[in-house]
A and B are shown apart, each in its own frame.
Chain A
Amino acid sequence: MIATRIRRAWLLLPGLGWLLLFFAVPLAIIFVVSLGQRDAFGGVSMAAPSLRNYSRALEPDFLPTVANSLRYATLTTIFSILISYPIAYWISRYGGRHRTLLLVLVMLPFWTSWVIRTYAWMIVLRDNGVVNSVLMSLGIIHEPIILLNTDLAVVLGMTYGFLPFAILPLYVSIDRLDPALVAAARDLYANGRSAFIHVTLPLTMPGIIAAALLTFIPAIGDFVTPDLLGGAQTITIAKVIQSLFLSAQDWPYGAALAFLLIVVTIVGTVATLRVLRQEVIG
């Protein structure tokens, strides 16, 4: 019995090792660095460790930035799920023998680097870009509208980028749903809409939660999209952290902000999961 357990525990080793080496250790390094100070040359001085960087990070100066990040991540999550759910539903229910092919198509964009795809959006959205040219040639607008470097561009780019992360868990949970349950609801005189609301939606809620987490978490830490598609008015906390590490060369301060962001994300995720598990899944 015990021997079997030990043998089984071996299976965990790669995962635990990975977690330790690529999550726990870096996190510990970030925390240690965050206690230091920037030295005159942009290095890290650990001469007098303190929590000073954390008190700096909690100053209200950053509130607008944090609010911006939350807004983008929330909007991205909502749009991703609204778009993904019908797609996943359709593939699962009506995809027939093409389902595998359709899922491969969902993953297809990953074959090209995200940065390149984001650059493509820049070409589409700029003043002389595809969208403005089409709208102008149709006579809908007469002057180009500014699309690139706006909130709209950031949310659009992130939704586009994280959509596959939402489709896949939704597909899995919809696919698992026994159609007989929906049929039973219909037999009990539920119309299509109420069968969906009272049967399909609650039973696929785990998929919706997984999809929300898989879009929200990367969205809150994403700095590539706000950097390339955003502009002067679209600063995010991830972008601030990036510039603290690169241009300001203030690693301790950047590390403090990064550590706070990670902790808040973990705590928020765990709390959300708990609440939802109790309320939704029961």
Chain B
Amino acid sequence: MKEPDLDATGELELALARYLADERISRRDLLARVAKVGAAAALAPIAAACTSAATAAPATPTSGPTAAGAVPTPVATATPTPLPSPEGQLYIYNWQDYMGTDVVSSFEKKYGVKVTQDFFPDYQTMEAKVGAGGSGYDITFPTSVDIPKWVTRGLLVPLDQSLIPNRANLGPAWQNPGYDPGNKYSMPYMWWTTGVAYDTSKIKEELTSWKALWDPRWKGHISVLDDYREAFGMALIRLGYSVNTTSDKELDAALALLEQQKPLVRTYTVDDIGELSSGDSWVVHAWGSDVHQVLPERPTVKFYTPEEGGIRGSDTMAIISGTKHPIAANLFINYMLDAKISAANTNKIGYMGPNQAAIPYIDPNILSDPAVNPADAVVAKLQELLDLGPDLQKYNDRWLKLRSGA
């Protein structure tokens, strides 16, 4: 029961960060309050964490003979050339609860590296910190959409492919992704889909389309993701346009569709888990992996990728410019791509990794859940969000108009 669900914690921390910014709180207060936030987060629906923890058997991931001790020179098992010895430290900047339980400690043991992990309260904070330079972190987890932008800004250093032989474990779709050809700057970490979740105890018919989120019968019980790319993506897919369009005409049409939806919407939120588990919303614009986490508590919730198509997103692992521990960082990324480690991560957090070799070690409950691991035919209908450069402003302006309009 230790691990609260990802997004409730994220929301809480986000709220806390806003609150702190608003209230100018003393450091001691802050500590006391953070402790309370932890307690409150534990109250949030977290049954999912328990079941996945119970089944995460391969969570002690020793992929090599490590029992012998913490000697930094690894036994040269797979690689013919001896590995350079890693630096003694590694600083990781990550989402909270976004790794398997013992992954960091087993890496520390295997390579004799002391790992320090910090967590960001929300993506924007991380981006601002890394973007400002001099953050002191070696590795972080940018969303794939941002990789081209980050590379242009000089925020990332190329990976040392010779230290990452486990890249071979990646599924074919991830070997040469559009956002980062040849995985030059990033390795995929986890991926997810966006679609619709609904409560079958409230809605007795089978839903298959995005149109459900526009159905006046569910007025006041519809929630939409507070994420303008996702919200416009949903409207653009309904209209048959690309989710990466920069055409003003198409975006205006999408805005009109969203304005038509707004009076029916209960709330725009990224806490899709909270909406589903509380029962406040019956039809929810949701991330599949979040829905997977709600299932143990609310088995009547069902997720589908709409027949019109859905959105696929992914997080990556990348090394930040100015890193002082490049060898340890590359070795860590390689470690995360190990089949058993990748499976341990998936089993703990309920997201699918891009790791083909990990599949035999993944919990069957995860593999069989279409919310997390959709069939190939469904995956074929998913679009990936791409970096739009300055044209992103077109989305921003319209989103502001939608949200602040009467």
By a beta-carbon cutoff of 8 Å, the part of chain A in contact with chain B is: 22, 38, 40-43, 61-62, 64-65, 112-116, 118-119, 122, 126-128, 146, 148-149, 221-224, 227-228, 230-233, 235, 240, 242-244, 246-250
Contacts and interface: CB of A to CB of B under 8 A. Distances in A.
Interface string B1-37: 0000000000010011011001110000000010011
A38 B267 CA distance: 28
A25 to B, nearest CB: 14
A247 B280 contact: no
B37 A148 contact: no
A61 B405 contact: yes
Interface of A, secondary structure class, is loop
A232 B267 CA distance: 4
A250 B265 contact: no
Interface residues of B, number: 43
A62 B228 CA distance: 19
B374 interface: no
B362 to A, nearest CB: 33
A128 B279 contact: yes
B124 A223 contact: no
Interface of B, secondary structure class, is helix
Given A41-B131, A64-B405, A146-B220, A223 B22 contact: yes
B18 A224 contact: yes
A243 B124 contact: no
Contacts of A113: 16, 19, 33, 36-37
B404 interface: yes
A149 B266 contact: yes
Interface in B241-270: 262-263, 265-268
Interface of B: 12, 15-16, 18-19, 22-24, 33, 36-37, 40, 122, 124, 127, 131, 149, 153, 220, 224, 226-228, 262-263, 265-268, 278-280, 389-390, 393, 396, 399-401, 403-406
B385 to A, nearest CB: 14
B278 A127 contact: yes
A22 B23 CA distance: 12
Given A115-B12, A235-B403, 15 more contacts: A42-B131, A113-B16, A116-B40, A118-B15, A128-B279, A146-B220, A149-B267, A223-B18, A224-B15, A227-B18, A231-B265, A231-B268, A240-B403, A242-B18, A248-B399
A100 to B, nearest CB: 23
A228 to B, nearest CB: 6
Contact of A247 (B18, B23, B124): B124
Contacts of B390: 40
